[in-house]
């Protein structure tokens, strides 16, 4: 077992007229395998679970997940993508188009603990668990990592 320490700060001097925003949260979280280091993939890559799928919907674990849109096209890994059209949607790995909860534009990141999947999950609405990337237009490079919650 290991310890992951995520620390998030939200700051702004312009969101509110008369009060700055400056908040920081942190928590030591016990984690264990399966886990990854920081990885990079195309939204179209197949890691063995299907194109764009990072965590199977049948996986019954909870994971702490980090995602970042690098802003780079997967065709060569160095060219900038279209700042508007080449977003990345993130959702459950099912056919339900309404399941996509996250929209990453270039440079944006996310951190969250996933809900666990179900071993007998069917490809229907009302699904739980799993994580899949959907390209808005062209495939782009995404950084990701996950750690199983102990």
Partner 1 sequence: MATLVPSLTLSSSDLNGDILNLSVADSLAVLGQVSAFQKVATTTGVVFAAAANFSKSYVYLKNLSTTAAEIITIEKANAGDEYFSLGAGEFAFFPWASVVDLALDAAQGSPVLEVRIFQASAAS
Site membership for partner 1, residue 103 (CB under 8 A): yes
Which residues sit opposite 131 in a β-bridge?
55
> Do 36 and 115 meet the contact criterion of CB atoms below 8 Å apart?
no
CA 116 to CA 58: how far, in whole Å? Answer: 8
| CA 86 from centroid of its chain's CA atoms | 16
**For partner 1, the closer CB: 66 or 86:** 66
Structure tokens, 59: 């996986």
56 contacts partner 1 (rule: CB under 8 A):
no
Q: What tokens appear for 17 in the block? A: 């007229």
Residue of the chain from 15, 47, 95, 119 that contacts partner 1 (CB under 8 A): 15
Residues binding partner 1 (CB under 8 A):
2-12, 14-16, 21, 25, 27, 29, 31, 35, 37-38, 62, 66, 68, 89, 91-92, 94, 96, 98-105, 107-116, 125-129, 145, 147, 149
């Amino acid at each position: 077992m290991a310890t992951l320490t995520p620390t998030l700060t939200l700051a702004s001097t312009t969101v509110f007229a008369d009060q700055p925003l400056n908040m920081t949260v942190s928590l030591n979280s016990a984690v264990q395998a399966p886990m990854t280091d920081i990885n990079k993939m195309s939204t179209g890559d197949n890691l063995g679970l299907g194109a764009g799928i990072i965590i199977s919907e049948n996986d019954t674990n909870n994971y702490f997940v980090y995602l970042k849109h690098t802003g780079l096209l997967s065709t060569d890994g160095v060219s900038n993508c279209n700042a508007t059209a080449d977003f990345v949607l993130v959702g459950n790995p099912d056919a339900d188009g309404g399941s996509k909860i996250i929209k990453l534009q270039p440079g944006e990141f996310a951190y969250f603990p996933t809900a666990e999947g179900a071993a007998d999950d069917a490809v229907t609405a009302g699904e739980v668990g799993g994580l899949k990337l959907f390209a808005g237009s062209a495939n782009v490079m995404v950084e990701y990592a996950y750690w199983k919650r102990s």
